[in-house]
A and B are shown apart, each in its own frame.
Chain A
Amino acid sequence: MSSEMTASAESSTLSTAERLRVAGLHAPDDAPADAVLSIRDLNVRFNTENGVVHAVRGIDFDLRAGRTLGIVGESGSGKSVTSMAVMGLLPETAEISGSVRLNGKELLGLSDKAMCRHRGNDLAMVFQDPLSSLTPVYTVGNQIIEALTVHNPTMTKRAKEARAVELLALVGIPSPKDRFKAFPHEFSGGMRQRVMIAIAIANNPRVLIADEPTTALDVTIQAQVLEVLHTAQEETGAAVVMITHDLGVVAGMADDIMVMYAGKPVETGSVDDIYYNPRMPYTMGLLGAVPRVDIAEKTSLVPIEGIPPNLVHTPTGCSFAPRCPLASDSCLQGEPELWAVAGENLDGGMPHKAACIKTDSLGLEVDVHEIFRAPAVPVSRFDAIPREERRTVLELRDVKKHFPLLKGALLKRRIGTVKAVDGLSFDIREGECFSIVGESGCGKTTTLLEIMEFHKDQDGEVVIGGLSNKEASDARTKSAMRKELQMVFQDPTGALDPRFTVFEVLSEPLENAGMAKAQIRKRIMELMELVGLQPDHVNRFPNQFSGGQRQRIGIARALAVNPKLVVLDEPVSALDVSVQAGVINLLDKLRAELGLSYLMVAHDLSVVRHISNRVAVMYLGKIVEIGDVDAVFDNPRHPYTRALLSAIPVPDPALERTRERIILEGDLPSPLDAPAGCNFATRCPVFAALPPARQEKCLTLEPPLEPLPAPGPGGTPAPPTDQQFACFYPDGELDADALVVHETN
């Protein structure tokens, strides 16, 4: 093959084993006989304005039927490119070399037409974004049938329809016969992802590639979809390649893990090896960088500083060396290969290998926090003061936001009300971080917008640093308010004007506050230092920074006018795990040092647990549980909170395997037909298990948000907490159907 020829020309620097392999001398019997997919020395190169980017640099793995391989890595590490190369979906400009064998048959070099026989048949893929991967103009039934028709031309129409309905039922779509004729827009995101899985498994594929299948979904939906993927694998016996950046997601799913960095696998092994005995500093850092939802103890996260190397230039040494705290001179002498790690291979999975010359010295006893020099946990001066004695910086009293739902072309008539935010009251004291969590559509962001809006005509009162929106909301009060309250946005790239240099970005709020030129310069230098950026980088444009650095600029801009309260809208959800840790540590530090208060909205409960002091759980515009973060997370009373917490995957395979998971039925109901009683009754596992006589109360009365009732005379006295929840039966039995426990081999 010509591509292999060019590759062999470059291989003079490679080892003998690799040279043999590149020369095509590796026989199929090199791979285990039962491997469905075996990849040898896969290389992918792209041409860009900057030069040739070597995106994937030599991947080998064998995948046996029924096994799951998790590929983990930061964005840009080549995970998705690998999967695309296997599927033959890369653009023609990409240069691919190596070998990809499906059941012993070589796939690379096949024409597009020849690949079509495999794609969707024995090779199937589930994509990341379920919203855009279904055609909106065909019914979902049609789209499943299309997948069947292409590969089974002889199948009768009736058989295909029966199979499609069967598939829909398999992936857990309720009343599949009726939904068969529904269009994609009638499905929610989670349902569409189920349909995508149904299409992928329609022809009983041998290999199923799932590229970040749950990243775009809510946690509760993520739990459902992972469950479906699990069923799908059991049903078809396919080998699954699961690509993700979330170490929690793969912990419960995968048998083997491959950690990728800079286009190369840096550590491979069984899931237990990787999680409990990582030998490559990068893997160790990644594991330490993830906040845990199940641990209350406060430690700083492990930040991996720096950015992945630029793959235009071939790394001369270990690609991780520039970011590695353990790097020494010998690390720069040649790129380390994957070396086998001592220890027995128990379950016959992937042998544990790590690409680090110090593998043997990195045993179990090494503390990752020490290696990566994680900063000490910052202590705020407010921590010592009891909460009641601190000043209130933000107070919401019964804030409501109702949107009228109108219908009709000319004469609009109101057909209902969407209660996006429905009577919200809470307060934030000095120096504390208050988080709002909940599924998308629960009204978190609307709440933030209502606060930022600060308008007299709002329903309910917003008091920011003593300024109420009800009293004077003239321009002067507003600008005083803006000095108290600033915002950090979710997407650091979108929040910075691409045509502004950092200096301009930071000077804008200062100029607006009427500061003198010389003072602005001084303040900007201060700010740069405060958020950990090089002061002499002020003349750069945002696109010259990495995502984490951009978010730091966003934080610096918010801090420019010295606000008391910073609103954080999903501040780290757009960042990679390793970068996320650095930003979280920074936020923690700033809160302690500057005495800031945060109002954070996040869907990642692990981050919330790590950084917040208090938390409110929202469901359909209402707070269903509020209180101290440890109290709420360790002892959730509302069934919704319990479900949310159980849905979060934990990066701990052993725990993940035995953990009880509450799978909520269905999706967030449309706020239009909000029930008269408890909003959550439609999905509530406690409600489902109640006898009908007691269900009545949930359906007719709205549970108020109140603290735990005083214990009876015989009960143990409850510890004093400010935890409040809105449920009549907090101690009710859960419906057995909703509980799922994974007992894997």
Chain B
Amino acid sequence: MTNLNTIDLAAVADEAKIEDGDVVIAKSTIILRRFLRNKTAVAGLVIFLALTLFSFVGGFFSSWDKEAIDPFNIGMPPSAEHLLGTSQAGIDLYALTVEGTRISILIGLVVGLVSVLIAAVYGCTMAYFGGKADKVMLFILEALIMMPALLVVAVATSGGGNGLQETLPSWLLLIIVLLVFSWMGTARLIRSLSMSLMQRDFVKAAQYMGIPPRRIVWRHLVPNIGSLLVLDITRGVTGAILAEVAFSFIGIGIKVPDVSLGVLIGQATSQVATFPWMFWVPLTVMFLLTGSLAMMNDGLRDAFDPSSGSIGSAKKKKTSK
């Protein structure tokens, strides 16, 4: 084999410099550093993680569960025995809130993650093939956007979907319906982003090497819109939680005996004056949940945005000198 090692000697020197001089910082490190520098975002992350933890292990700190009725404490305000009080049926509100939070987070995470994944693959495929495939897929997408999601949710979860309701728990049914209607906006965004990626030379290079389209989409397009995907996941999670609350509030989402934050809030609205704790506790939890996600999203956007004004931490060191 040919040997061009003469060039290497000098190259070695500057390679060493790159390593020693920490010229190159991995992009993930930069993003992490920028994210951690944003105190609000870190607080959001902490709150969200704490709530998730609470929804899974919170049940162990109370002897009551969401089905046990305490006949001696019906509709009682918070007390030593029932930390957050009880409902008019005598069920411990703490246990209900833990259960409701878990269902809400579950719905949010699953819908947020899966819908973005669907959107990514769908959008990239559309952009990659273009032409006829793009037209047909765009038509399907537009048709779904036109469909009144509210009615479909109502029909699926109450009247029409009887067969489904027997086989599936209501939260799973809601997840599926939400999934069907939540990915279109993101998919369109991703389509336009990928179309601009398609113009980049590395996609052309892969095509000229004869790489099959499926692999180009999966290996070149999807990872390169990664930062957008992360942002869209947090946004999608918030959206899904809010949608669940809204649907359950108007009575077409989660059905009793399943509990969710929306169900709790919905049930309590009529008695805000008489049983205020029944209303304010789940509302606060919901606000913490969506609020923390919004705080995180803001920090993530800053961290991913290459043009953000977040300058290096060097500034502080400098002034202290």
Which residues in A have some Cβ–Cβ distance to B below 8 Å? 47-52, 93, 303, 305-307, 309-310, 312-313, 322-323, 373, 375, 452, 478-479, 482, 486-487, 489-491, 494-499, 508-509, 512, 526, 529-534, 537, 541, 543-544, 546, 549, 554, 557, 561, 582, 586, 589, 593-594
Chain A CB within 8 A of B8 CB:
yes
Q: Which of B10, B26, B223 contacts A323 (CB 8 A)?
A: B10
Asked, given contacts A50-B312, A498-B224, whether A322 binds B5 with beta carbons under 8 Å apart, the answer is no
List of B residues within 8 angstroms of A48 by Cβ:
311-312, 314
List of B residues within 8 angstroms of A546 by Cβ:
14
Min C-beta distance of A329 to chain B, whole Å: 15
CB pair A52 B204 closer than 8 Å = no
CB pair B312 A305 closer than 8 Å = no
List of B residues within 8 angstroms of A303 by Cβ:
7
Asked, given contacts A93-B311, A512-B209, whether A50 binds B25 with beta carbons under 8 Å apart, the answer is yes
CB pair A495 B205 closer than 8 Å = yes
* Residues of B208-233 whose CB lies within 8 A of A: 208-212, 219-220, 223-224, 226
CA separation between A498 and B223, bound complex, in Å? 10
CB pair A47 B17 closer than 8 Å = no
Min C-beta distance of B70 to chain A, whole Å: 56
Asked, given contacts A49-B30, A306-B11, A494-B202, whether A529 binds B314 with beta carbons under 8 Å apart, the answer is no
CB pair A543 B8 closer than 8 Å = no
Min C-beta distance of A576 to chain B, whole Å: 14
Min C-beta distance of B77 to chain A, whole Å: 53
List of B residues within 8 angstroms of A51 by Cβ:
312, 314
* Residues of B2-19 whose CB lies within 8 A of A: 2-8, 10-15, 17-18
Min C-beta distance of B139 to chain A, whole Å: 18
Min C-beta distance of B185 to chain A, whole Å: 25
CB pair A544 B1 closer than 8 Å = no
Asked, given contacts A93-B311, A499-B223, A534-B12, whether A52 binds B318 with beta carbons under 8 Å apart, the answer is yes
Q: Which of B12, B18, B219, B314 contacts A47 (CB 8 A)?
A: B314
List of A residues within 8 angstroms of B7 by Cβ:
303, 305, 532, 582, 586
Q: Which of B4, B21, B313 contacts A313 (CB 8 A)?
A: B21
Considering the complex, give the chain B residue whose CB is closest to the CB of A537. Answer: B15
CB pair A497 B209 closer than 8 Å = no
CA separation between A482 and B204, bound complex, in Å? 13
CB pair B11 A499 closer than 8 Å = no
Considering the complex, give the chain A residue whose CB is closest to the CB of B25. Answer: A49
List of B residues within 8 angstroms of A491 by Cβ:
201
Min C-beta distance of A524 to chain B, whole Å: 13
Q: B178-217 vs A: 1/0 string, CB under 8 Å?
A: 0000000000000000000000111011101111100000
Q: Which of A49, A375, A544 contacts B33 (CB 8 A)?
A: A49
Q: Which of B21, B200, B211 contacts A494 (CB 8 A)?
A: B200
List of A residues within 8 angstroms of B33 by Cβ:
49
CB pair A479 B1 closer than 8 Å = no
Q: How many residues of B contact A (CB 8 A)?
A: 47
Question: In this complex, which of A52, A305, A497, A499 has the most chain B Cβ atoms within 10 angstroms of its Cβ?
Answer: A497
List of A residues within 8 angstroms of B315 by Cβ:
47, 93
CA separation between A526 and B21, bound complex, in Å? 28
* Residues of B253-310 whose CB lies within 8 A of A: none
CB pair A310 B208 closer than 8 Å = no
CB pair A310 B17 closer than 8 Å = yes
Can you offer 15 A-B residue contacts whose CB atoms are under 8 A? A47-B318, A48-B312, A305-B7, A305-B14, A306-B11, A322-B13, A322-B17, A323-B10, A495-B201, A497-B223, A499-B223, A508-B206, A534-B8, A544-B18, A557-B209
Considering the complex, give the chain A residue whose CB is closest to the CB of B212. Answer: A512
Question: In this complex, which of B206, B224, B314 has the most chain A Cβ atoms within 10 angstroms of its Cβ?
Answer: B314
List of B residues within 8 angstroms of A529 by Cβ:
1, 3-5
Chain A CB within 8 A of B23 CB:
yes
CB pair A306 B13 closer than 8 Å = yes
Min C-beta distance of B206 to chain A, whole Å: 7
Min C-beta distance of B233 to chain A, whole Å: 18
CB pair A533 B11 closer than 8 Å = yes
CA separation between A691 and B133, bound complex, in Å? 59
Chain A CB within 8 A of B22 CB:
yes
CB pair B202 A495 closer than 8 Å = yes
A49-B25, A312-B23, A532-B5 provided; 9 other pairs, C-beta below 8 A?
A: A47-B312, A48-B311, A49-B312, A52-B318, A307-B17, A482-B209, A494-B200, A497-B219, A529-B4
CB pair B211 A512 closer than 8 Å = yes
CB pair A306 B1 closer than 8 Å = no
CB pair B4 A531 closer than 8 Å = yes
Chain A CB within 8 A of B132 CB:
no
Asked, given contacts A49-B33, A478-B210, whether A497 binds B202 with beta carbons under 8 Å apart, the answer is yes
CA separation between A479 and B14, bound complex, in Å? 38
Q: Which of B15, B206, B219, B314 contacts A52 (CB 8 A)?
A: B314
Q: Which of B2, B3, B224 contacts A499 (CB 8 A)?
A: B224
Min C-beta distance of B310 to chain A, whole Å: 9
Considering the complex, give the chain A residue whose CB is closest to the CB of B27. Answer: A543
Chain A CB within 8 A of B168 CB:
no
Chain A CB within 8 A of B24 CB:
yes
CA separation between A313 and B200, bound complex, in Å? 34
Min C-beta distance of A526 to chain B, whole Å: 5
Q: Which of B15, B208, B219 contacts A486 (CB 8 A)?
A: B208
Min C-beta distance of B14 to chain A, whole Å: 4
Considering the complex, give the chain A residue whose CB is closest to the CB of B226. Answer: A499
Min C-beta distance of A316 to chain B, whole Å: 13
CA separation between A557 and B204, bound complex, in Å? 13
CA separation between A322 and B202, bound complex, in Å? 33
Q: Which of A49, A50, A509, A530 contacts B209 (CB 8 A)?
A: A509
List of A residues within 8 angstroms of B27 by Cβ:
543
Min C-beta distance of B212 to chain A, whole Å: 8
CA separation between A508 and B206, bound complex, in Å? 8
Min C-beta distance of A213 to chain B, whole Å: 26
Min C-beta distance of A644 to chain B, whole Å: 27
List of A residues within 8 angstroms of B24 by Cβ:
543-544
Asked, given contacts A50-B22, A375-B6, whether A482 binds B314 with beta carbons under 8 Å apart, the answer is no
CA separation between A478 and B26, bound complex, in Å? 38
List of B residues within 8 angstroms of A309 by Cβ:
17, 21
Asked, given contacts A305-B14, A490-B201, A543-B27, whether A497 binds B1 with beta carbons under 8 Å apart, the answer is no
CA separation between A481 and B202, bound complex, in Å? 19
CA separation between A512 and B205, bound complex, in Å? 13
Min C-beta distance of B22 to chain A, whole Å: 6
CA separation between A322 and B10, bound complex, in Å? 9
Min C-beta distance of B210 to chain A, whole Å: 4
CA separation between A482 and B21, bound complex, in Å? 40
CA separation between A32 and B179, bound complex, in Å? 75
CA separation between A49 and B4, bound complex, in Å? 36
Min C-beta distance of B318 to chain A, whole Å: 6
* Residues of B75-132 whose CB lies within 8 A of A: none
Min C-beta distance of B29 to chain A, whole Å: 9
Min C-beta distance of A594 to chain B, whole Å: 8
CB pair A479 B202 closer than 8 Å = no
Min C-beta distance of A575 to chain B, whole Å: 15
> Which 8 pairs show the lowest CB-CB distances between chains A and B?
A305-B10, A532-B7, A495-B201, A306-B14, A310-B21, A482-B210, A489-B201, A494-B201
CB pair B205 A482 closer than 8 Å = no
Q: Which of A93, A310, A498, A526 contacts B1 (CB 8 A)?
A: A526
List of B residues within 8 angstroms of A512 by Cβ:
209-212
CA separation between A375 and B2, bound complex, in Å? 15
Min C-beta distance of A553 to chain B, whole Å: 11
Considering the complex, give the chain B residue whose CB is closest to the CB of A373. Answer: B6
Q: Which of A307, A478, A499, A586 contacts B4 (CB 8 A)?
A: A586
List of B residues within 8 angstroms of A494 by Cβ:
200-202
List of A residues within 8 angstroms of B314 by Cβ:
47-52
List of A residues within 8 angstroms of B220 by Cβ:
497
List of A residues within 8 angstroms of B10 by Cβ:
305-306, 323
CA separation between A700 and B243, bound complex, in Å? 72
Asked, given contacts A312-B21, A489-B204, whether A479 binds B318 with beta carbons under 8 Å apart, the answer is no
Considering the complex, give the chain B residue whose CB is closest to the CB of A535. Answer: B8
